[in-house]
Chains A and B, each alone.
Chain A
């Protein structure tokens, strides 16, 4: 098979001079003394060397000869029965933030939550998590959280606050009370809210979602008479068409959908079938990157595309689409949808009622209702109606609202007309915020009554009708906060506290304490037998919607589209350094938002794809005007984005009060949202762009760690795979020239035996969608430090596991493949041979071990690693050094509060040592110890790595290769022999991680589509 050319960025594709330079220089800096220019320029660095040597020797002597500190061992006075120091406890809970529903299990050590995993008992998510869920545990220890109730910003007691709020409520004089919240999934909380509002006639509860799904809710009401969201079943779909719905990254319930979608992408030679996924979008989303066929259009054309697809499915021809490629794509998608009648699904990310109505109509035509869309079990993921919010802002400005209670929303930041909301807010007599920090909205209210973090709370959540998940405290409240429900109960004169209220509610429902205890232990309650999938009768007015879409105003020269980043989302979790540092799956940038533009558009701003693009952090700053607003943002070239579209992520530009990580990073893009009289539009059809001449640095990770064009990805098409499954690995035949057994015959070294366990991992490129949940899971599990933007620019990021994103094919319409890259634990490891102090060596279980306390920091190992997975501690990120003021702290990661999130079973590394993936050795050791204590061998699946556990699509299989019954053994020897390959296998590094070749479900073979760029590159 001809090897395609893969590139991480355009500079690699064009092999610019700058790129060649950076590839040649392994490390970005010559010497680590980057603060001191004079040292480098000095004529006699020998003297400086001697000075440094003298100082270090003297300092080390002084530090070492200090007296050994006296340590105390302080036991409990009365030890709680369930706590054994050193042994973790697990509590079932629920991540239900802004309507996202992920049942989780929280690991606590000595009473501190330190890690979140998915709850496998939930049939909704099946144990899947996302990057946001994984990072939520860090938000608990956020130093920017409000620590006590305040009145006008000054600390007060709860008693005083209650007194004043009650008095103010009594003095409203009949004016209504409005409770403004984000989507609430908890039925009990809703009951509390109902009881509270019932005390004040004319009051109402307004649900406001920062990123709204109002269009879908209203379209469903119009089409099916129900203002709800159905349950989607991607796993039943053979053809999936997404009109800009980023269902693997941000749309509704990405953990759930990734799990379902992943099931349709698992493939082997015995079962060579998979779903076909068409994607139509304006920018490059994570889901689009995973599509089999992807087409771009302008955001103003969304309606036209939906309409054309409807007509095509309905037997008509595609009309009204100027772009030929797009029109052909629609025809093809329509054909595929019709061919898989009853096994097809169309989803749309549009917030336009008419577009969503057309999508409903298409789904009705292709028989999705009752097969891939379930109306029997509906989902509660988003409930906000944009009209309600707009009405509230009007009422506030009219002065007709007496009291405004705000919970979990931040309209002063994320409402498109924030100033108008802020003005209206001032007119309300009583303003109370329950938000966890002094955010933009809370700053303006009189009373702040901070709610607990969800890991400190009691609660329930009904993600889907009949599918409940519970929340229980995993730690006592860290601060003087109070449950939102407790505040409401107390102000409505109910003396029951929230815990008892919730308990009574559920004990009555379940019929006893025992059932309640079990519910808390399991975390979920679900129907004993899942209700059969049901359809619904479509009664929507397609003609009216068509008319409205056709009359919509046409876009201008440039169009603007707003999107959510996979990690930061709507901006609520912006003060989470783990999420800020997680490279965006597509752009591979950290700590910023920017204007994503195509290569074509970038050229009009004289941004040359020369030496200084992507190699240097400086990016040209653009001024973008739309809807009467303007912001300045650096441009970032993203291959595959529509040439006339600029995409900007929301969730940035928070005020400094939101926290050090979120504050003053990027720009707020919400002002570009507009209200069309019915719903919010997250695009601007007419935008003006101009260059400002300024530059701005962006922390991109994409050019770090180059393979210098060596082939490390293997892929084929479904058609070819069915024809000849062996073709993917034809090049492996070359290895046989070294002898019958490549492992032992192709080397001079002896073949070491692995007498007991031999750990191995398999990563399926077909089900890795690049979402980054594993990256954050690894960070949380292994105390991986956060380095901040400045250091990311210097290529000092510390992630043990990175997800490499490669483009291939046409640079304007590239194909994307994601490859998680971590230490390959080579059995013939190049790093081990070059370590002068044997700090890295091999274990009898096949683990490439790294002894930090032995490492002297020569970095020879990193230099010799062909996979570029070793990370050097250029600074003291974690406070592990003996010298106190040596610390390099970004975003309060070393505050005593934040440090509570550290995993006590993993050491924090000090400055000057190398580190890398350990295969989560602490988990392996723990599983082995449990087995040893019980006198039995380790069972398959008992030892899981953090990345494996976090993966929603189960792309990672891990286990003991010596165990013939293990999954990993089955995968390697039976299920996936045809797709299995090792990266850089021919160099005889003998990795312990194998990859499974990616298979695209597209018609043409890669050769046929090969453009001039992917010319001769043979493996």
Chain B
């Protein structure tokens, strides 16, 4: 059980490393128009209304540059469409009318380079055609048995050795008896091993220890459900959203910054993007059992829930909520606040939820036991110097200054006391 965790941690570490490397790389190569950077910007800012190949809320952007006479005007349009409309530009005003007099929001924060990046991304996408490149990656991970568990092997060897030892002891006692018979020494009739008190006592002790070990571990584990991975009503892949498409966790789980609940996003949040993303074109998806998933059909499930008609581009039926199965459950007597950990504690989601960006189906990463919480509170350092809240802890500040302590942990400011979580 614990091995698995350590493997995950290692994996997560690697992914964080790659992530950092990617970040550094992207920063250092921000000179020429970069379609990759453009992709991110596009997905964050444009994708809710625009698709490259399809008309959605806004026009399809394929070959957008060729449609505008002046690239400078296009930049201006993206920066502030209302200003362009005010100049009386014919093309712009026609466009405005065509889309029900709905103005495009202004993006004053875009630099010209940003816009060039986005346009570069659109240019690249334009050449690909709808659907994007197909990849044929098989189900990964499931087949590649990660370093098989040695304990089974050890167990088998131990068992074999124990049997060998038993047989040898039997042979030994038989030989002894034969030798004694030969010498004419009267020996008592040997008791078979299953009626031998020494053996029975030994067996009981072993059983007690082994049984006790499993009983206690089982009892401690009651109510815990580490690695719980229920089937969800929609095969929603965090890997596709948070991993491949790099959507910020907080975009959907906005509550994590504000509330005790991270919040499962309401369906209108999904529709911000999925109004225009109606087909799935990423790598093939598989369930944990290896069943292939049709991504587009899963998006259609969302549409069925919210009552969206993708062809008519409007809501045609009243929406109904999606009944997700809750994975992370805390007992009633535990108070946990996401915003405390995310905002005040500056913790990454992955610390408790694991490499969520690599999970197609989410499972419970940590065991969410009190020991697990406490261990983290004992070792995690608070933002002692940066957060002025801690300015009242004068003694600790003096200690830090004097070098008596090098940092302040959550435990030192009372983070392991009962009534921090139980009230």
Binding site for B on A (CB under 8 A): 64-65, 68, 70-79, 84-87, 753, 755-757, 841, 843-845, 847, 849-854, 880, 905-908, 918, 921-922, 925, 928-929, 931-933, 935-938, 962-963
> Given the complex of chains A and B, what is the CA–CA distance between A962 and B392 in angstroms?
9
Nearest Cβ on chain A to B381's Cβ, whole angstroms? 14
Q: Are A844's CB and B414's CB within 8 A?
A: yes
Question: What distance in Å separates the Cβ of B13 from its nearest Cβ neighbour in chain A?
Answer: 28
Find chain A residues with CB under 8 A from B391 CB. 937
Evaluate whether A73 and B264 lie within 8 angstroms (CB atoms) in the complex, with A755-B396, A907-B423 already known: yes
Task: Pick the contact of A905: B264, B325, B335, B394 (CB < 8 A).
Answer: B335
Q: Output the least CB separation between B249 and chain A (Å).
A: 16
Is the Cβ of A75 less than 8 Å from the Cβ of B343? no
B419 touches A843 (CB 8 A): yes
**B306 lies within 8 A of chain A by Cβ:** yes
B413/A756 in contact, CB under 8 A: yes
Assuming the contacts A65-B222, A937-B388, asked whether A76 and B259 have C-beta atoms less than 8 A apart, the reply is no
A68 with B324: CB separation less than 8 A: no
Asked if B414 and A937 make an inter-chain contact with CB atoms under 8 angstroms apart, the answer reads no
* In the complex, chain B residues whose CB is within 8 Å of the CB of A852: 333, 422
Whether B40 sits at the interface, judged by CB under 8 Å, is no
A64-B222, A844-B417 in contact; A937/B389 too (CB < 8 A)? yes
Annotate B258-269 by CB proximity to A: 1 below 8 A, 0 otherwise.
111101111111
Give Cα A756 to B413, complex, Å.
8
Q: Inter-chain contact count A-B, CB under 8 Å? A: 155
Given the interface contacts A933-B343, A937-B389, A937-B392, does A75 sit within 8 Å of B322 by beta carbon? yes
Please, which residue of chain B has its CB at the minimum distance from the CB of A908? B332
State in angstroms the CA–CA spacing of A921 and B422 once bound together.
10
Say yes or no: B388 contacts A935, CB within 8 Å: yes
Task: Chain A residues near B420: list those with CB within 8 A.
Answer: 843, 925
Closest to A88 in B: B259
> Complex: how many Å from CA A938 to CA B344?
14
Are B419 and A73 closer than 8 Å at their CB atoms?
no
Q: Which of A68, A78, A850, A851 contacts B223 (CB 8 A)?
A: A68
A contact residues around B265 at 8 Å (CB): 75
Quick check: A75 and B419 within 8 Å, CB to CB? no
Instruction: Give the residues in chain A near B225, CB-CB below 8 Å.
Output: 68
Closest 7 CB pairs of A and B: A86-B259, A79-B266, A77-B319, A76-B266, A932-B344, A849-B419, A851-B418
> Contacts A845-B414, A932-B340 hold; do A755 and B393 have CB atoms under 8 A apart?
yes
| Residues from chain A with Cβ under 8 Å of B333 in the complex | 852-853, 907
Of B264, B414, B418, the most chain A CB neighbours within 10 A belong to B418
- SS class, residues of chain B in contact with chain A: loop
Query: Which of B263, B337, B396 sits near A929, CB closer than 8 Å?
Result: B337
- Chain B 77-106: CB-based contact to A (< 8 A → 1; otherwise 0): 000000000000000000000000000000
Name B's A-contacting residues (CB within 8 A).
Answer: 222-223, 225, 230, 254-255, 258-261, 263-269, 305-306, 319-326, 329, 331-333, 335, 337, 339-340, 343-344, 386-396, 413-414, 417-420, 422-423
A38 to chain B: closest CB distance in Å? 35
On whether the beta carbons of A841 and B418 are closer than 8 Å, the reply is yes
A413 to chain B, nearest CB (A): 41
Q: How far is the CA of A933 from the CA of B261 in the complex (A)?
A: 16
Given A86-B255, A753-B395, A843-B414, 13 extra CB contacts under 8 A: A68-B225, A84-B255, A86-B258, A755-B396, A843-B419, A844-B414, A847-B419, A849-B417, A853-B422, A854-B422, A905-B423, A907-B333, A936-B389
| Neighbouring B residues of A963 by C-beta, 8 Å | 392
Q: Considering the chains assembled together, what is the distance between the CA atoms of A854 and B331 in angstroms?
A: 13
Bound CA–CA A300/B306 (angstroms): 73
Rounded to whole angstroms, the CA-CA distance of A880 and B414 in the bound complex is 28
- Chain B proximity of A571: nearest CB distance (Å): 36
Q: Which residues of A contact B386 (CB under 8 A)?
A: 935
**B395 pairs with A918, CB closer than 8 A:** no
- Which residues of chain A are within 8 angstroms of B254 by Cβ–Cβ distance? 84
Docked-complex contact B387 and A932, CB < 8 angstroms: yes
Known: A64-B222, A78-B268, A85-B259. A929 touches B344 (CB 8 A): yes
How far, in angstroms, from A73 to B326 measured CA to CA in the complex? 5
What are 26 pairs between A and B in contact, CB < 8 Å? A65-B222, A68-B225, A70-B325, A72-B324, A72-B326, A73-B264, A75-B264, A75-B265, A75-B267, A75-B322, A76-B266, A77-B320, A79-B269, A85-B263, A86-B258, A86-B263, A86-B337, A843-B414, A844-B414, A847-B419, A854-B418, A905-B423, A907-B422, A929-B344, A938-B389, A962-B392
**Interface contact B332-A907, CB-CB below 8 Å:** yes
Are A77 and B306 in contact, CB atoms less than 8 angstroms apart?
A: yes
- Give the complex CA separation of A853 and B422 in angstroms: 8
Residues of B within 8 A of A918 (CB): 419, 423
Contact indicator B389/A932 (Cβ below 8 Å): yes
Contacts of A755 in B (CB 8 A): 393-396, 413
